[in-house]
Amino acid sequence: MAKTKLPQEEAVEVKKLTAEELENLVNVQQKINNITLNLGNAELAKQAMFVEYSKIKAEWDVVAKTLEEKYGQVNVNLSDGTIAPIDPSANPLG
C-alpha cells in the first residue's frame, strides 16, 4: 500500500512566557492550591467538630435529665453549684 504524503505544515512560531512570568504564574497557582487544600482541611475539621458537638450534647442531655429527675426543673449556678427555682416571670414564653 502506498503512503500518502501530507502537505507540509507551515512552521508555527512557538511563543513562551518569560522566566519571570512563568515563575509568577506558578507561584500564584501554588497559593491557590494551598488555600484550596486548607479550605478542605478546615471543612473536615468543621465536620469532625459537629460530630463531637453532637456527642457532648447527648452527654449534656443525659446529665441534665438525671439532675432534673433528682431536683426538678431548677436553675443551676455553674460557678458554685447552687440551685434556685426557675422564675416563671423571667420566661418570655410563659
User: pTM of the prediction?
Assistant: 0.60
pLDDT in tens, the chain (94 residues): 666 666 666 778 899 999 999 999 999 999 999 999 999 999 999 999 999 999 999 999 999 999 999 999 999 999 999 999 988 777 666 5
Rounded CA separation 94/68 (Å): 19
CA dihedral sign, ordered 58, 59, 63, 66:
positive
| CB-based contacts of 38, cutoff 8 Å, min separation 6 | none
Q: What is the pLDDT of residue 25?
A: 98
Which residues on adjacent β-strands are paired with residue 84? 75
